[in-house]
Amino acid sequence: MQGKCGLFFTSYRGEAQIFQSGFQKLMVGLFILVLLAAPAVLNVHLTSIMNLIFIAVIGAVSLNLLTGVCGQISLGHGAFIGVGAYAAGQCTLHGVPFPLAILVAGLITAMVGMVFGVPSLRLKGIYLAIATLAAQLVLEYVFLHGGVLTGGSNGLLLDPPTILGFSFDTDARMYYLLFFFAAASLLMVSNIMRTKYGRAFVSIRDFYLSAEIVGVNLFRYKLAAFGLSSFLAGVAGGLWGHYTGYISAEQFNIGLSISYLAMIIIGGLGTVLGSVFGAVFIVLLPEVLNVLANSVGGYFPDIAQSIVALREGVFGLVLILFLIFEPEGLAHRWRLIKAYWKLYPFAH
């Protein structure tokens, strides 16, 4: 374990801590305080962007657990998020309290994820990707033809979340709720990665045969990865549905699955921090491109439309550049930045 200068461990428990030094704990504490104070400073638009980031963080970290940590590629994550949205929506529409609805949504999505995870015992790599793509298509069909369960082509209208009579009906209120769920999800995945399950997932990802030889039950652990990942995807879906107030089949299409894959690739596969970076990057990218298009459009009114049309291309270009130049994602870049300052000014 690469520790900081002057940091010594006298126990395995000490070495396995998430935040090892007092300075790290202080920084994280300050960061949390800043985040808690943010809605007071940010306007509603920026708060809403933060809310979208929190939801994306939960979705990304859940996919990272499955794909980055356990090596099981999934192209059906968007649909799993949809399952959570519909499940939580139906629960609250039938009077189930919101926290319980989110829990039920997670559990239902976990079950659905495990069903579609069954082929993972026999299928690997691109074959598994296609199998999960099938899950995406099947679930999209169910969303569209689910009758009263999904509202069919009309979708479902949902009310803002209410906990013990307190309604989270503004962006600032939703901010705290989503912040709580995002932090809890990050903590959950960080802890899973430190347990027997986490180590088994990594061993399956690195080489399934070795993992099996050392006694890892491949089927059980792969299913567990699908279950745990889908649980969090369900939570993200439930939160998204109640945040927007409306869910329809169109929202949980293959584009959403690809978007989440892009998040974990750009952020960094297999790291919790990478999921956060990826989510922030992908949510902010269209916003930044929009700002750029608008600012350039102010000087050249006729050129704005052409720039707008370039956005999809820019998104693709950014992905390609990341794959070529930063294959380990932003989390790796973050580690390099930290190392640079740690050694500054004696980098060599």
Partner 1 sequence: MRVGKIITAVCTVILAGMVLMGCGGEEKKPAATENAKDTSPIKVGGLTDLSGPTSSVGVPYSAGLKDAVKYINENGGIDGRMIEFDLQDTAYNVQQGLSLYKKMVNTDKVVCIQGYGSAVTEALIRNLSKDKVPNFSASYSAHLTDPKKAPYNFFIAADYTTQLRAALKYFRDNWKEARAPKLAFIYPDHPYGIGPIKGGKAYAEELGYEIVGDANVSLKAIDATTELLPLKEAAPDFCWIGGTTPSTSVILKSAKNIGMDTVFFTNIWGSDENLFKLAGDDANGAYSNQAAAVYGQNVPGMKVIEKLTNGEHQMTHYVRGFVSVLVMAEGMKRAAANGPMTGEAIKNSLETMRDFDPMGLAPLISYFPDDHRPNMAVFIYTVKNGELTFVKEEILERRADWLGH
Query: Rounded CA gap, 19 and 27, in Å?
Result: 10
Residue-by-residue DSSP string for 108-135: HHHHHHHHHHGGGGT--HHHHHHHHHHH
Strand ranges in the chain using DSSP code E only, listed in sequence order: 156-157, 162-163, 166-167, 246-247
291 in contact with partner 1 (CB under 8 A)? yes
* Type of residue numbered 131: A
x-marked contacts with partner 1 along 110-149 as a string, rule CB under 8 A: -------------------------------x--x-----
11 in contact with partner 1 (CB under 8 A)? no
x-marked contacts with partner 1 along 78-117 as a string, rule CB under 8 A: ----------------------------------------
Phi and psi at 166, nearest 5°, equal -95, 120
Q: Which residues contact 284 (CB under 8 A, 6 or more apart)?
A: 49, 53
Specify whether the CB–CB gap between 73 and 228 falls below 8 A. no
Q: Which of 68-76, 85-93, 223-231, 305-313 is the region at the interface with partner 1 (rule: CB under 8 A)?
A: 305-313
A 10 A CB-CB count for 29 gives: 11
Among 337, 339, 341, 342, interactor with partner 1 by CB under 8 A: 337
DSSP class of 156: E
Phi and psi at 8, nearest 5°, equal -120, 145
Nearer to partner 1, 70 or 264 (CB): 264
SS3 163: strand
Structure-token match 């999934």, residue found: 74
Q: Which of 41-49, 60-68, 190-198, 224-232 is the region at the interface with partner 1 (rule: CB under 8 A)?
A: 41-49
305 in contact with partner 1 (CB under 8 A)? yes
Among 288, 303, 323, 339, interactor with partner 1 by CB under 8 A: 288
State which of positions 226-285 bind partner 1 (CB under 8 A): 244-246, 248-251, 255, 281, 283-284
Q: How far is the CB of 269 from partner 1 (least distance, A)?
A: 17
Query: Rounded CA gap, 73 and 114, in Å?
Result: 14
45 in contact with partner 1 (CB under 8 A)? yes
309 in contact with partner 1 (CB under 8 A)? yes
Kindly state the number of chain residues that form the binding site for partner 1, as judged by CB under 8 A.
Answer: 51
Chain positions contacting partner 1, by CB under 8 A: 41-46, 48-49, 52, 141, 144, 152-155, 157-159, 169, 171, 244-246, 248-251, 255, 281, 283-284, 286-288, 290-291, 293-294, 305, 308-309, 311-312, 321-322, 325-326, 330, 333, 336-337
